[in-house]
Amino acid sequence: MSPVSSNSPHGQPPLRTVQVLGGGNAGSSGHVRSLAAGLVARGVRVTVCAPAEADHAHDFTGAGAEHVDVARSSDPGTVAALRAACADADVVHAHGLHASFRAVLALSGRHTPLVVTWHNRAHAEGARAHLLRLLERRVVKTAAVVLGTTSELVDRARGTGARDARLAAVALPGPQRIADPDDPDRRRPKVRAEVGATGRPLLIAVGSIDRHRGYDVLLDAAREWRDLDPQPLLVIAGEGPSRGRLQRRIEDEHLAVRLLGRRDDVRELLDAADLALLPGGRESRSVLAQEALYAGVPLVAAAAGGTPDLVGDAAELVPYGDPKAFADAVVRLLDDPGRRELLRDKGARQAAGWPTEDETIAQVLSIYDELTRPRAFS
């Protein structure tokens, strides 16, 4: 049976889905934006419940969805607002553990099917770790379907009690392109000049500046390669609570590192870079890793989280939390153009096997169809 759409049988109204997003990182927020656009194009009514800043950043309304401002909180007022937004939904689809838990609370006593996507594994220590396990158990036992972006997350959902856990097809949102290595503009001299990388290698890392991203490992690695001539420049695009502390380290240790803050030209920066660096270990489907392989920029990444499965042998993988190994890999790649070219070729082949946006939307629509079949035949 084809997915339910605006042409539903027996004169039924179009399917209505509510997408629930918490704060959302770039990957999950971009995924929801992509889903909203694809679902709307296929005749589905979409409401995105997310904080206002998420709509400002990702323009859910521009994708044709209705946006309802719902704070990243589980207080009674927030849950009540979410419950009202889900009042006539055919399917509610929540993204991330905390958004999923709010959806469980909002749907209490209703029979609306809940789909949950886990984009990354939530981490905590001490008493919060126990609380997270309780939240996970409550969510997976309530959800009709749990989608995990990696096989590890699927196994975790099943081990926690999920009735139905599946591997999610999650595409990198937006226009992708495999870079042409012969493109004379690939190095973007103006971008390199702007960040101060004229005549020297440019290294780039992207993501919120918090203690889980592994940026201290990069600063430690930068000490290891600062004797190179010319000395590479590392730029970090992102904002976050650890920025002040990192800036003090950079100044105190005289490191060739620039914190660029939040940027809306990350793809241009990436196109201009010699290497992309991913030191963190918690991302399941790193946006930077995908962007780097699409752009033909060799990647050095920590062998942790979902990164090894995502990139295969198309990146230089090093042990998580090992700045010496990270620095050694960077130095080797900068000195080996043949290896960089090989990684570009492997990256193009690896990226060609990732799900497309159409495949992602088709999988989600198929699941919605399974959960709403009685509706179509009523």
**Does any domain span residue 3?**
no
Which residue range forms the structural domain that includes residue 290? 189-352
Residue 200 lies in a domain: yes
| Residue 4 falls inside a structural domain | no
First CA to last CA distance, the chain = 15
pLDDT at residue number 29: 87
CB atoms within 10 A of CB 252: 8
* Cβ neighbours of residue 198 closer than 8 Å, sequence gap 6 or more: 189, 192
Give how many domains the chain has, as a whole number. Answer: 2
Tell whether 148 and 92 lie within a shared domain: yes
Which pLDDT belongs to residue 360? Answer: 94
Instruction: Indicate whether 158 and 223 sit together in one domain.
Output: no
The residue whose two tokens read 């012969």 is 182
Q: Do 126 and 140 share a structural domain?
A: yes
Predicted TM-score (pTM) of this structure: 0.81
pLDDT the model gives residue 175? 59
Instruction: Sheet containing 114-118: give its strands across.
Output: 66-69, 45-50, 16-21, 91-95, 114-118, 145-148, 165-167
Q: Are strands 202-206 and 233-237 parallel, antiparallel or unpaired?
A: parallel
The reply to whether 106 and 132 lie within a common domain is: yes
Per-residue pLDDT of the chain (378 residues; tens, 9 = 90+): 344 444 454 556 799 999 999 865 667 888 999 999 999 999 999 999 999 988 988 899 999 999 999 988 888 999 999 999 999 999 999 999 989 999 999 999 999 999 999 988 776 667 778 888 899 999 999 999 999 988 889 999 999 999 999 999 888 776 555 565 555 455 578 999 999 999 999 999 998 898 888 999 999 999 999 999 999 999 999 999 999 999 999 999 999 999 999 888 889 999 999 999 999 877 788 889 999 999 999 999 999 888 999 999 999 999 999 999 999 999 999 999 999 999 999 999 999 999 999 999 999 999 999 999 865 433
Per-residue pLDDT, 215: 95
The verdict on 100 and 230 lying in the same domain is: no
347 and 366 housed in the same domain: no
Say whether both 194 and 334 belong to one domain: yes
How far apart are the C-alpha atoms of 286 and 115, rounded to whole Å?
A: 22
CATH code for the domain in which residue 105 is found: 3.40.50.2000
User: What does the pLDDT read at residue 343?
Assistant: 97
Q: Where are the alpha helices (DSSP H) in 143-272?
A: 151-160, 189-195, 215-224, 243-253, 266-272
**CA–CA dist 360, 79 (Å, integer):** 29
Looking at the fold, whether 233 and 278 belong to one and the same domain comes out as: yes
Asked if residue 164 and residue 261 are part of one domain, the reply reads no
Predicted pLDDT at 377: 38
278 within a domain of the structure (yes/no): yes
Look up tokens 């990182």; give the residue.
Answer: 25
Tell me: do 136 and 156 sit in the same domain: yes
The answer to whether residues 124 and 137 belong to one domain is yes
Q: What is the pLDDT of residue 213?
A: 86
Phi, psi of 94, deg, nearest 5: -110, 145
Assess whether 94 and 158 both reside in one domain: yes
